[in-house]
Amino acid sequence: MAFLRANFSPVGGQAKKGSVPCIWSYTTPDAKTVVDAAGYFNSVSGDVSIGDMIYSWATNAGTQTASWHVVVSNAAGVVDVSDGNVMAVTDSR
């Protein structure tokens, strides 16, 4: 599936965008491995900067994944993010 711009949003104030890393939130039906791929976030290349963090909530085929991705490069409209640092999504009650 493709990146869904409507599911991408800044977290908190973005007043210092370009001066400090920003945090973004994103929800997708794509698997984490798809989100990790270079070029997935190209349509927001004008919004994100190197060092920004993207919190991703992915639900694919019933599997839910929460992960943090860091923007590692953004040049000529091509955005690459780090492999996501996965957070456990469990409830041991």
Tell me: the pLDDT tens digits for 28-69? 999 888 998 999 999 999 999 999 999 999 888 888 889 999
Contact 10, 26 (CB under 8 A): no
Q: What is the pTM of this model?
A: 0.88
Q: HSE on the CB side for 92, CA within 13 Å?
A: 1
Which residue stretches of 1-85 are H helix? Answer: 32-35
What does the pLDDT read at residue 31?
86
DSSP-assigned letters across all residues of 31-52: -HHHHTSTTTTGGGTTT--TT-
**What domains can you pick out in the chain, each with its CATH number?**
5-9+19-86 (2.30.130)
Is pLDDT at 15 greater than 70 in this prediction? no
